[in-house]
Amino acid sequence: MALQIPVTSPLTEAQAELTSKIGSMKSLLSIPIDTNLNIPKGDQISTYDYLIKVLKAIGVDPEIVFNLFLDKIFDETGTFLEEKVLDAVADSFAEQGRQLPSTVTPNPTPQQIEDYKESNRLYLRGLVPATFLQTVKQQLAKNLVLMIFGPKEGPAAESLNPDPSERDRLIEEAICGENIFSISSDPIVKEENVEYNRIALRQQLEAGEVVFEISCQDVKITLPEEPGYFFDGGGQFTQSTQVPTPSQSLQIAVQYVRNQTQNINNEENANSVGKSFYEIMLVKLLNYISSLIFPFLGPIFNLTQGTTAGAGIDASSIAYGTCAIMNSADNPSQDPEQKQAFFKSLANALLKELLRLLLVLAIKEFKRLVANYFARTAIEKQKRRVEKLRQKFQLFQGVSDTAQKAVKYAAAAAALASILGQIPE
């Protein structure tokens, strides 16, 4: 007996539309009416997570925004990062009651602090050239890679940063800065688990074998023995004659992780792995930004130390690293607000820009989605209108045909009557 293959009967356009609308109505009716809309602020989903959900629901890849964000921060011809760093320094001066160039207030009021922030920002932007970080952005990218992957010693570490003491500092700051600044809705983590995670991270970074949770699975990543091609070109993803920009270097690192992860993942999930690590890298960038910028703040304080409010103040008194910030929370003799001022201002400014880019893309794509919806609705409406006109035309055409037939019948009957009249009885 021959194999009987069942035939799938396709739906007509009207049937498919009706089926989809019924499904949508059913989904809408399944939403509980008594949903609690007064959710406490701390329990709500973060703005970042929500925008990512919206983009994915629209069908847009958020990696487009991640690329733009990195390009803006590490642009060697732009001044976005420099401006945000100057604002953060100004805010930190204000938290200490210092209004540049000449006012020092021991115990400033909250209003004075806000006024000093605005005044200091204007002063520093007019004093410090907005290009003081442009020549070090490639090294910033290298230091970020070292803080993410390690190792502490060896050829790979030396190619990223040749200074052993600076590598020690970066590794320590990476351990202290783990999850110090969050952009997502975090699960509840016990204090003992935090300490355990830091101990585990120290071991991984020093050895250069770091475990990341990517696509709900643990992936161990080790940098190549010579990761210099990330930044100098000539590797698998670059041309030997073209030196990557700092942003492109970090994107090459993402691609490297994607390729490493494919060893335990199928081809279908390759892109999602890369995107997930991209988000991990951006979160770490925001966590480590103060520690990354700290060594390159000298040009600012060389100019401010000649003022009354800036006398005796250097980078170590303004821009604190993650370890100093973490320890200040447990030390009652220190003011956590002053320790955190530079980091909070800079990290929040970068996060605000990331959210802005995500929101702009979400609005743009949503408008396009709505425009396509209304365009399709108009087309469907026009089709129905044409169909109705066609049906009316057929109706009138039928009446016209009947009238023409009646005329022909009358003419034939008249001719027949004349003929019948000539026949003798």
Mean pLDDT by 10 residues, the chain (425 residues): 56 74 67 62 82 88 92 94 96 94 93 95 94 94 95 92 95 89 70 78 92 79 88 66 88 89 59 67 94 94 93 90 82 75 95 95 87 77 74 61 63 61 54
Say which amino acid occupies 167.
Answer: R
Which pairing describes strands 98-99 and 217-221: parallel, antiparallel, or unpaired? unpaired
106 upstream amide cis, omega within 30 of 0: no
Quick: pLDDT tens for 273-296. Answer: 445 788 999 999 999 999 999 999
Calculate the alpha carbon distances from 321 to 13, 90, 170, 186, 342 in Å: 62, 17, 10, 23, 9
Residue 89: per-residue pLDDT: 96
How far apart (Å, rounded) are the C-alpha atoms in residues 138 and 230?
11
Residue 273: per-residue pLDDT: 43
Residue 357: per-residue pLDDT: 95
Residue 127: per-residue pLDDT: 94
Residue 402: per-residue pLDDT: 60
Number of separate helices (H) and strands (E) present in the chain: 15, 4
Quick: pLDDT tens for 187-206. Answer: 655 666 777 888 899 999 99
The burial class, CB within 10 Å (0-12 / 13-18 / 19+), for 300 is buried
Transcribe 330-355 into DSSP letters: T-TTS-HHHHHHHHHHHHHHHHHHHH
Residue 228: partners with Cβ closer than 8 Å, 6 or more residues away: 159
Q: Report yes or no: 221 and 257 within 8 Å, Cβ to Cβ.
A: yes
Percent of the chain topping pLDDT 70: 77
This prediction has a pTM of 0.79
How far apart (Å, rounded) are the C-alpha atoms in residues 267 and 56?
20
